[in-house]
């Protein structure tokens, strides 16, 4: 497919009152949408991003900010369902599934359980490893540019901590898998762990250190990317996409409350809401919102407390992550399959807050509100990156689940390559949108 270049700038057309027209319009300006905008603009296309409110709604702001080569095992793995069933009985557990007879949800659950196999894990590991490492390389290149300082990228590595025997076994199994996949890891006892992160306060028995992992301030990264793509000439349009006008196998108009935008190509990167948009085009995307929470305690300079932590950590026993960031420290966790409800269930947040209090003191934790965000989860733990079935100019970039910050840059590149019709830098077959059909 070729890209038609517009020689006259979109802003001129807006001023002149003509209909706005771009080579590509992206719906959604979270990490994934902005990554697509950057890659497409770098390729020379005129690009607009339409987003209704990324700094309050997007998952891309309040997440744990971990860039994770350590996460090469897809979420749908053997044993996950049994563990999940046990957790369902506990109101403070990290997993919650709201019973629902919604056919789309049932279909998603069915597909999820079908992928909890060793064969799927064996298929997913190299796919995730290669895409995560390629994405990290792109992120490194972006963050070496002026303006990206606020992204706070730090190549610290990550500690996967364990207290109990079960979590230790789980971590050691993951260490074996990661080592076999060629990742740089170290198995550490308690002293070895404390030598790497002396500010740890919990009574851990050991950890696995993933040397290639990194951390960012996700909101800082998003703001840096927004400024960067604006500087490149990408148009950012504030507004909700209400409908997509279709003519045969093409979308010919993208409608918000007050305008219609025309584009040669449309990229749907609306996170958990992407399936609402594909539904209008006749495709049921197997995508479910998976709610997570975070609590961010400011550092002493901002009225909070300094913990001295440098290393992002994941507590395997409780599935809680701890991420030091510029200006504070973030504690996050839980996965709730309960639709688009963004309300905070304080019972689920309790273990996260308890952990935060251990490091920061209750007096610094209690005034801090809880952030909630929706991970766009696919049933097989792999994203959707490719053309929408039965359409000639619509592309999907969503379904990144727990990995959207990590996989944003490579997703943008793969979308730009596919739209340009050039050979993709990675095999895109595992990310096909029609793989569950």
Ligand X SMILES: Cc1cc2nc3c(=O)[nH]c(=O)nc-3n(C[C@H](O)[C@H](O)[C@H](O)COP(=O)(O)OP(=O)(O)OC[C@H]3O[C@@H](n4cnc5c(N)ncnc54)[C@H](O)[C@@H]3O)c2cc1C
* Binding residues for ligand X (CB under 6 A): 27-33, 50-54, 57-60, 63-66, 68, 240-241, 269-273, 292-294, 332, 373, 375-376, 398, 400-406
Distance set, CA 390 to CA 1, 96, 269, 292 (Å): 16, 35, 18, 33
Q: What is the dihedral of CA 48, 54, 57, 58, to 10 degrees?
A: 80
DSSP symbols for 127-189: HHHHHHHHHHHHHHHHHTSTT-GGG--B---EEEEE-SHHHHHHHHHHHHHHHHTT--EEEEE
Interatomic CA distance for residues 239 and 42, integer angstroms: 24
For ligand X, which is the closer residue by CB, 164 or 297?
A: 297
Handedness of CA 84, 160, 129, 409 (dihedral sign): positive
Q: How far is the CB of 189 from ligand X (least distance, A)?
A: 26
Q: How far is the CB of 239 from ligand X (least distance, A)?
A: 7
Contacts for 87 with CB less than 8 Å, ≥ 6 apart: 93, 94, 95
What percent of the residues of the chain are helix, what percent strand, and what percent coil, each to the nearest 5? 40, 25, 35
Q: How far is the CB of 200 from ligand X (least distance, A)?
A: 19
Residue 293 and residue 348 in contact, taking contact as beta carbons nearer than 8 Å: yes
* DSSP state letter for 273: G
For ligand X, which is the closer residue by CB, 191 or 346?
A: 346
Q: How far is the CB of 279 from ligand X (least distance, A)?
A: 12
Q: How far is the CB of 312 from ligand X (least distance, A)?
A: 8
For ligand X, which is the closer residue by CB, 5 or 59?
A: 59
Tokens 């709604």 appear where? 57
For ligand X, which is the closer residue by CB, 44 or 197?
A: 197
Q: How far is the CB of 71 from ligand X (least distance, A)?
A: 8
For ligand X, which is the closer residue by CB, 71 or 115?
A: 71
For ligand X, which is the closer residue by CB, 63 or 171?
A: 63
Q: How far is the CB of 348 from ligand X (least distance, A)?
A: 11
- Find the residue with minimal CB distance to ligand X: 404
Q: How far is the CB of 129 from ligand X (least distance, A)?
A: 15
Q: What is the 3-state secondary structure (H, E, C) of 115-127?
A: CCCHHHHHHHHHH
For ligand X, which is the closer residue by CB, 188 or 237?
A: 237
Interatomic CA distance for residues 325 and 217, integer angstroms: 6
* Helix axis angle, 218-232 to 31-42, nearest 10°: 30
Burial class (CB in 10 A: 0-12, 13-18, 19+), 412: buried
For ligand X, which is the closer residue by CB, 92 or 205?
A: 92
* DSSP state letter for 424: P
Burial class (CB in 10 A: 0-12, 13-18, 19+), 425: middle
* DSSP state letter for 2: P
Q: How far is the CB of 165 from ligand X (least distance, A)?
A: 26
Hey, what are 193's tokens?
A: 């762990």
For ligand X, which is the closer residue by CB, 105 or 331?
A: 331
For ligand X, which is the closer residue by CB, 194 or 344?
A: 344
Q: How far is the CB of 321 from ligand X (least distance, A)?
A: 6
């Amino acid at each position: 497919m070729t890209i038609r270049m517009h020689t006259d700038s979109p802003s001129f057309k807006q001023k002149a009152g003509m209909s706005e027209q771009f080579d590509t319009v992206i719906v959604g300006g979270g990490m994934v949408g902005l990554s697509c905008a950057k890659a497409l603009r770098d390729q020379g296309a005129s690009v607009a991003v339409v987003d209704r409110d990324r700094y309050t709604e997007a998952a891309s702001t309040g997440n744990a900010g971990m860039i994770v080569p350590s996460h090469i095992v897809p979420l749908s793995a053997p044993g996950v369902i049994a563990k999940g069933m046990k957790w369902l009985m506990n109101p403070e557990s990290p997993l919650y599934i709201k019973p629902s007879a919604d056919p789309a949800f049932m279909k998603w659950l069915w597909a999820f359980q079908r992928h909890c196999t060793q064969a799927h894990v064996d298929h997913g590991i190299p796919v995730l490893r290669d895409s995560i490492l390629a994405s990290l390389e792109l992120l490194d290149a972006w963050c070496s540019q002026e303006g990206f300082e606020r992204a706070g990228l730090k190549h610290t590595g990550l500690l996967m901590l364990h207290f109990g025997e079960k979590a230790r076994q789980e971590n050691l199994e993951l260490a074996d898998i990661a080592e076999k996949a060629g990742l740089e890891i170290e198995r550490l006892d308690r002293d070895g762990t404390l030598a790497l992160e002396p500010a740890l306060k919990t009574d851990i028995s050991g950890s696995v250190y993933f040397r290639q992992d990194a951390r960012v301030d996700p909101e800082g990264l998003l703001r840096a990317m927004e400024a960067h793509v604006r500087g490149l000439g990408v148009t950012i349009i504030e507004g909700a996409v209400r409908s997509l006008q279709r003519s045969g196998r093409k979308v010919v108009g993208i409608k918000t409350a007050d305008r219609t935008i025309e584009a040669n190509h449309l990229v749907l990167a609306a996170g958990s809401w992407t399936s609402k948009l594909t539904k209008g085009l006749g495709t049921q995307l197997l995508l479910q919102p998976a709610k997570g929470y975070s609590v961010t305690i400011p550092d002493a300079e901002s009225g909070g407390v300094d913990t001295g932590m440098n290393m992002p950590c994941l507590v395997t026993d409780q599935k809680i992550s701890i991420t030091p960031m510029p200006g504070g420290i973030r504690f996050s966790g839980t996965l709730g399959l309960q639709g688009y409800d963004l309300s905070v269930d304080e019972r689920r947040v309790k273990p996260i807050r308890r952990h935060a209090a251990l490091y920061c003191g209750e007096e610094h934790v209690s005034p801090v509100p809880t952030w909630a965000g929706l991970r766009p989860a696919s049933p097989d733990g792999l994203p959707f990156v490719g053309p929408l079935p039965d359409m000639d100019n619509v592309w999907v970039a969503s379904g990144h689940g727990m990995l959207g910050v990590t996989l944003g840059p490579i997703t943008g590149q793969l979308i730009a390559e596919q739209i340009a019709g050039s050979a993709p830098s990675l095999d895109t077959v595992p990310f096909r949108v029609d793989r569950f059909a």
